[in-house]
């Protein structure tokens, strides 16, 4: 048994194994990290879905995209305000996030279109519009449509290669295309 520096051969073997194990984990992690961006860039999905964070419609939104034949074929971002997040000065950090996520989805997954789903009884619209918020169905639809048209115009300027669809979802999960 070796007694170099007062250590036994067994102790040296244990330290060597720990170092090999740590090195193996490090190399496996580095290899996985290096491969991830290439694999992510290779993926392609049809759309980026942008929805509101509202808990009442999470499952309905999934069913909506499934019904559009987009199961496992879209990226998803949820932002308070959905369309409003893109253009309202009430949510400046959401403005940046909205547009950043479109760029990221294009880069990583080569999306072809953006689908934005707003909903009725929308808290973010109440915050943004205050006393001017329209709670009657026609007024509410028009408010959403106005915001959606602003987003569509900005999207056409910043990402002219992307198609866009805008929907308004009722609290029962049904949705109508607005823009």
Position 21 scores a pLDDT of 53
Identify which of 90, 128, 87, 102 has the alpha carbon closest to the alpha carbon of residue 50: 102
Position 25 scores a pLDDT of 47
48 and 24 housed in the same domain? no
Q: Which residue has the higher pLDDT, 6 or 168?
A: 168
Query: CB–CB of 95/68 below 8 Å?
Result: no
Q: How many helices (H) and strands (E) does the chain have?
A: 6, 5
- Total structural domains within the chain: 2
- Mean of the pLDDT values across residues 110-123? 97
Residues in the chain: 179
22 and 59 housed in the same domain? no
124 and 64 housed in the same domain? yes
52 and 21 housed in the same domain? no
15 and 82 housed in the same domain? no
17 and 60 housed in the same domain? no
Which 3 state secondary structure label does DSSP give 69? coil
Q: Which residue has the higher pLDDT, 33 or 147?
A: 147
Handedness of CA 169, 174, 178, 179 (dihedral sign): positive
CA distance 135 to 154: 26
161 and 142 housed in the same domain? yes
108 and 89 housed in the same domain? yes
What pLDDT, in 10s, does the model give residues 63-109? 999 999 999 999 999 999 999 999 999 999 999 999 999 999 999 99
Report the CATH number that the domain containing residue 173 is assigned in CATH: 3.40.1050.10
Residue 20 belongs to domain spanning: 4-41
66 and 15 housed in the same domain? no
Average confidence score pLDDT of the chain: 85
- Mean of the pLDDT values across residues 110-117? 98
74 and 133 housed in the same domain? yes
Position 38 scores a pLDDT of 53
Whether residue 24 has pLDDT greater than 80: no
Position 43 scores a pLDDT of 86
């Amino acid at each position: 048994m070796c007694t170099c520096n007062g250590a036994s051969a067994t102790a040296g073997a244990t330290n060597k194994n720990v170092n090999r194990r740590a090195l193996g984990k490090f190399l496996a992690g580095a290899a996985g990290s290096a491969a991830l961006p290439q694999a992510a860039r290779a993926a392609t999905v049809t759309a980026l879905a942008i929805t509101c964070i509202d808990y009442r419609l999470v499952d309905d939104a999934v069913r909506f995209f499934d019904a559009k034949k987009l199961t496992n074929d879209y990226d998803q971002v949820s932002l308070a305000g959905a369309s409003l997040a893109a253009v309202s000065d009430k949510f400046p950090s959401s403005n940046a996030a909205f547009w950043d996520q479109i760029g990221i989805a294009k880069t990583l997954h080569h999306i072809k279109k953006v689908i934005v789903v707003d909903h009725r009884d929308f808290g973010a619209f109440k915050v943004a519009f205050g006393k001017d918020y329209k709670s009657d169905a026609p007024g509410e639809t028009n408010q959403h449509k106005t915001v959606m048209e602003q987003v569509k115009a900005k999207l056409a300027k910043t990402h002219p290669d992307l198609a866009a669809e805008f929907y308004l979802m009722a609290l029962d999960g049904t949705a109508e295309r607005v823009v």
